Structure 1
Amino acid sequence: MSEVTAGPMPRMARPNFRTTALIIASAMFMEQLDATILATALPTMANSFDVSPAHMSIALTSYLLSLAVLIPASGKIADRYGARSVFSIAIAVFMLGSILCAWAPTLPVLVAARLLQGAGGAMMVPVGRLVLLRTVDKSDLVSAMGWLLVPALIGPILGPPVGGFIVTFLDWRWIFYINIPIGLLGLVLTQIFIPNMKEDKREPFDMKGFVLSGISLACLLFGFEMTSRGSAGEAPLAIALLVIGVVSGAIYVVHARKPRDFAPILDLSLMRVRTFRISLVAGSLSRITQGAQPFLLPLMMQIGFGMSAVESGLLTFATACGSMLMKAAAKPILKRFGFRTTLIWNSVFSSMLYAACALFRPDWPHWAIFAVLLVCGFSMSLQFTAYNTVCYDDIPPTRTSSANSFYTTFQQLMLSFGICAGALALTGSKLVLGHEHATLTDFSMAFLFVTAISLLASPVNAKLPYNAGASMSGHRNRHEAEQPT
């Protein structure tokens, strides 16, 4: 169990989980607002840098790459130096990266600044969530996740219309400046309310594993990102990066399986925990689709429909509105149907809603598009609330830090792959159909491609025990005697 620096923290001295969740959510708000505004502004930024809009996917991927590489170390660093210290430094680094993004004169400079932003983001949300996991009982975890995500969902709600307003009436660089006041508020609240929780026992840091996993994740992501551009000249480098990524990943697996006195940076033994493994695998499939949607949708509306950034932003924020509406319904739904049933059928339902985006056309009434995206956001948010909660059902307190780092790493990795998958599908459709520029048909094919991936999550969810997460949801049924293995 994590303790404050001065010694054990009495249970009554723990911070109220709602207060802690809202503070952590301020960091998530800043991160999500930045991401959704940027997705809306990509076409305008592409014109500013004189590159193709499809090439701007690297501005999203580079940030998520930095997250995927550094998140594995977040738990170990927080255990050693204290949650409050690491969380505060992470916010400061994110703010510095935001300033450098605003000053970027070229796309390569923007990518470098986004990597720095990602370094801050890699510590902000995982460390904050770790604090929440260590200060709340399992029976309150669904509600705690809801409190954590509600303020953070304001970011996606405000992001598209604010992004559209900024790129239409101001300069896109203001996208990054607005992070500064939010970050300053987060720093102040962190110092007041979040304890500097540390582990009493300090394990050696797995530097070899950190390097191997970092090389593997970085090479795989950049290899897939370059492949998604469809450039023949970049194909040899992309293939080389993919090969290096696979080889270094295989070496890491061998390294992680060796007996040692301390846990590896990514503890593969966690995959033996049934609920954790299923949530990770099924959630990864769903997140590929979720990662592709905010990349494809604004591009389709602005390039395919001819909408302005403001118009597309006002429509796409319907997804975040649906997510917000879901938070009040999550606990009753999970209590009534349980995690297993909810995840099985909602996987199919949410995938079909994303597939409906392939049918969008300029002559569709705006209210109809808004309605589809509203329900889509509701359904997918329910899915991820369930995944993010049930994955910790059978994790003992001593392994919470390792599980949080492992799960969050793959969460961000799959969102990055989603962007790459969407860009790759869009480029592939253009090449197959012989289109010089992306058409509505190409966008439809891309949406159907990524939707097919998320459909695979449903049979994986069927392997969950019938009573999975019952201690969190309060669900009981005729199969409650069955125990998870």
Structure 2
Amino acid sequence: MNSNNPQKKNVEGTKRILPIILATAIFMQMLDSTILNTSLPAIARDLNQSPLNMQNAIIGYVLTLAVFMPVSGFLSDKFGTKKVFIFALIIFTLGSLFCALSGNLNQLVLSRILQGIGGSLMTPVGKLALVKTFPKKDLLKAMNFAIIPALIGPVLGPLVGGYMVDFLSWHWIFLINIPMGLMGIALSLRYMPDYRSTVIDFDLRGFLIFASGSLLLSVSLELFGDVVYITPALVIMLLGVTMLYFYYRHAKSDDNPIFPLNLFKVRTFRVGILGNLATRLGISSIPLLLPMMIQIAYDQSAVVSGWIIAPMALTAIIAKSLVIKILNRFGYRNTLMANTFIIGLLICCMAFPAIGASIYYYIPIIAVLGFFNSIQFTAMNTISIADLRGYHTSSGNSLISVNQQLAIGFGVAFGLIVLKVFKGDIKLINDDIHNAFRYTFLVVGLLTILSGLVFRRLHFKDGDNLK
């Protein structure tokens, strides 16, 4: 009799399909975070731009993710997970279509921002629905299935982007999202549960102040890439710092700020956040700089650059199974300090081969780099939440996610600023752009090595409660 109960069938159907819906959303978001890395030179040619001026197409997307992620929980509580998730899918799919139809760089950047708005809501709202649908004993299994695309996306992104650019056109790297988005919308209309909250307490003022500060700092960093805009860049940076100061003042007086200041009284959280920002400032530019160098300096195809960068994601998956053993044996402090040094050294090694050297020299370096990157990200994220109280876990996790996206955007901007500076010094690089890339790798690598000093603030026993 129970097997014929429509309500029970609907619940079982939701439990079966919901992880697939979330997996589709995560896959689209992860694919779009990496697919441009091998495609930018081709898009730049078609839009009559220099590849070195295309970073806004990446930065606009990741910074929009960072800015709008904190608002996802509030919108879900107020309007319900079903409406917000479907809205996010529609916005992301429309953004993908507009990206494909873009006729100039400004249109592409605006379309990527639209994608970012959709992406910033899709994954957090989907995860929230999953957490509320499954009992704790089944949650890990459902979540593990849903996040598989987060591991596959970075592998497929550079390869799919490379093949589509070389054999079809760059427009297809965005058009492939449309059937996936439509499928997600159709499944969500039937199976996405509609959770909402009667208690809604969102720090809208704090969100607007913090978002304004983050955006102003991002714009200033971008303007620093052009010597003509140095003065406006400094003014905008000062405005950004001022807005963050206003947020500090606001958070001190507000009863429920979006990011409570007492989070930073927790030493492991403070070190984890700062280390994440400093280390990713160097690491984040590599998946863009290396494919760009292979295509521009070595005159190779997008497919070749995609195959050379792909091992980075594959070894990252392998490292996931070993990271707990490594942390248990060496501890968080030793692991993070040594790991950061190794990552910086590997980045510096990319500067060694001259233009006549084989491009396949980079494959073992990028493969090993992917392995240590994975350890780095896992260790930084877990130590950041190690000592947070239960009532701080939600806001702490949210700030960690925002910090990661901001760091990726800052890292891409920083890497390209350094590259532009060296490219402009024709005497230093002997009028060979490959030398500009080599010097950039040295600067980025040395910065990464220095960022490891942040983790000296950790104690040897920090993270023991996670073992």
- Give the secondary structure class of the aligned counterpart of 1:418: helix
Deviation at 1:213, TM superposition (A): 1.7
Question: In 2, are the aligned partners of 1:75 and 1:405 still within 8 Å (CA)?
Answer: no
Structure 1 residue aligned with 2:310: 317
Instruction: Tell me which residue corresponds to 1:280.
Output: 273
Q: 1:298-377 to 2 correspondence within 5 Å? A: 298-377=291-370
CA contact (8 A) 2:30 2:149 kept: no
Cα distance in 2 between the residues matched to 1:147 and 1:390: 25
Aligned counterpart in structure 1 of residue 248 of structure 2, from 246, 253, 257: 253
Q: 2:219 aligns with which of 209, 222, 245?
A: 222
How far apart, in 2, do the equivalents of 1:235 and 1:92 lie? 39
Q: Which residue of 2 aligns with 1:6?
A: none
Aligned to 1:290: 283
Question: After superposition, where does 1:9-88 map in structure 2 within 5 Å?
Answer: 24-88=22-86
Matched, 1:213 2:183: no
Q: Which residue of 2 aligns with 1:235?
A: 230
CA distance in 1, matches of 2:322, 2:285: 26
Kept in 1: contact 2:79–2:196 (CA 8 A): yes
Amino acid at match of 2:169: D
Which residue number in structure 1 is paired with residue 152 of structure 2?
154
Q: 1:332 to 1:85 in 2, by over 3 A?
A: farther
- Partners of 1:127 and 1:79 lie apart in 2 by 10
Aligned equivalents of 1:211, 1:76: Cα separation in 2: 14
Q: Secondary structure at the match of 1:466?
A: coil
**What TM-score do you get using the length of structure 1 for normalisation?**
0.84
- Show CA shifts across 1:296-320 (max 9, x none): 1111111111111111111111211
CA apart distance, 1:166 = 1.1
1:85 CA displacement: 4.2
Instruction: Report what 1:119 is aligned to.
Output: 117
Which residue, 144, 162, 167 being the options, matches 1:164?
A: 162
1:482 is matched with none
- Alignment partners' CA distance in 2, 1:311 and 1:273: 46
Q: How many angstroms does 1:70 deviate by?
A: 1.6
Quote the sequence identity (%): 37
* Alpha-carbon distance in 2 for matches of 1:368, 1:406: 38
Unaligned runs of 5+ in 1: 1-12, 475-485
Contact 2:69 2:124 in 1 (8 A): yes
Verify the 8 A CA contact 1:267 1:406 in the aligned structure 2.
no
Unaligned 5+ runs, structure 2: 1-11
1:308-366 CA-to-partner distances (Å, cap 9, x unmatched) read: 11111111112111112222222332333333332222111122112222224444445
Q: Name the CA shift for 1:444/1:127 in 2 (closer, same or farther; >3 Å).
A: farther
CA distance, structure 2, for counterparts of residue 220 and residue 238 of structure 1: 9
1:215: Cα distance to partner? Answer: 1.8
Matched residue, 1:455? 449
User: How far has the Cα of 1:292 moved from its partner?
Assistant: 0.9
Shift of 1:119: 0.7
Which among 423, 427, 447 is matched to residue 420 of structure 2?
A: 427
TM-score by length of 2: 0.87
Count of aligned pairs between the two proteins: 452
For the residues of structure 2 that align with 1:44 and 1:303, how far apart are their CA atoms? 10
Q: Does 1:410 align with 2:403?
A: yes
Distance across 1 between alignment mates of 2:146 and 2:426: 44
Does residue 442 (structure 1) correspond to residue 440 (structure 2)? The answer is: no
Counterparts of residues 187-202 of structure 1 (less than 5 Å) = 187=185, 196-199=194-197, 201-202=199-200
For residues 76-155 of structure 1, the aligned pairs below 5 Å read 76-128=74-126, 150-155=148-153
Return the alpha-carbon distance in structure 2 between the equivalents of residues 465 and 86 of structure 1: 42
Distance in 2 (CA, whole Å) between partners of 1:340 and 1:148 is 31
